Amino acid sequence: MTSGKVLDLLICLIKDLRQDSYADFKEQIMPAVIGVVDVQNVGVMDKVFTLFSFCFKYLLKPIRDDLEQFYAIFSEILIHKNKHLRHFAAQCFSYVLRKVNIDAHLMQVILAPALQAPSDIGPFAFVHIIQGLSDALFEVMYGASQDLHSKATGVVQVLLSLEKSEVMIKIIRCLFIKLFNNIDTNRQTPIFEEISTTLLKGDLAEDKVKLGLMVYLDAIMLKYGRRLSHVVVIQLYESLNSLMSKANSPLVT
């Protein structure tokens, strides 16, 4: 029996058995499907996409209740070298993440493929991990009509509350660049307000200031004026000037 026929059969089983099929799906079916992923075979990839679409539709409750164990297997697709597969996985997984409370523990679970990556991992593989994880968070935060989803500010709060390691900084910068590039210019204000509140007020620890400066500079350099409103550019400049002033090195006005 061909891979396509087997995938068709598995799709039918999930539709018929629904939650009763979850244990077998997680422990046997999903690892096997991931193992036969062939991005060069359009027919098989289409079946794989359909299978996972039905998986998240009919197995939502058991996935949500067993999220960490499910993600430990599913994340292999999320960090795949093929960008189209990563994008599809991010869209699917965001559907579940929008149904749960994303606290610091869950955020660390989501980012574990990057935070726990082996030191000898290749540079391209590491880039795929960063892109896949930032894609997943982006899909959670991206709403309709180039607006922010209602969970967006909560995700930013949790993300910025974690330890600012070099890996975390890369993920955060990558995520914010995606947001700046896709959210309507007039709807980006909550992002900058959260950055200012979380990173640039109160105790100005070095790691917080460093990250804040990086994010602001990324925003300004990102095709200046195309995806940022004039008001936001002014706000960014004022914040940068304030930070540099605290370092006794104000920008020239």
Distance CA 43, CA 58 (A): 23
The string of DSSP codes covering 149-202 is: -TTHHHHHHHHHHS---HHHHHHHHHHHHHHHHHS-GGG-HHHHHHHHHHHSSS
pLDDT at res. 228: 55
Q: Is the pLDDT of residue 202 over 70?
A: no
Lowest-confidence region among 188-192, 212-216, 223-227, 242-246? 223-227
59 CA to centre of own chain = 21
Q: Is the pLDDT of residue 243 over 60?
A: yes
Tens digit of each residue's pLDDT (9 = 90 or more) over 110-164: 999 999 999 889 988 999 999 999 999 999 999 999 999 999 999 999 999 999 8
Distance CA 228, CA 75 (A): 33
Percent of the chain with pLDDT over 70: 85
pLDDT at res. 31: 93
Lowest-confidence region among 41-45, 71-75, 90-94? 41-45
Tens digit of each residue's pLDDT (9 = 90 or more) over 162-172: 998 989 999 99
Angle at 72 between CA 70 and CA 73, to 5 degrees: 70
Q: Is the pLDDT of residue 1 over 50?
A: no
Identify the band that residue 199 occupies on the pLDDT scale cut at 50, 70 and 90. confident
- 19 and 62 Cβ atoms separated by less than 8 Å: yes
pLDDT at res. 250: 44
Burial class, 118, CB count within 10 angstroms (exposed 0-12 / middle 13-18 / buried 19+): exposed
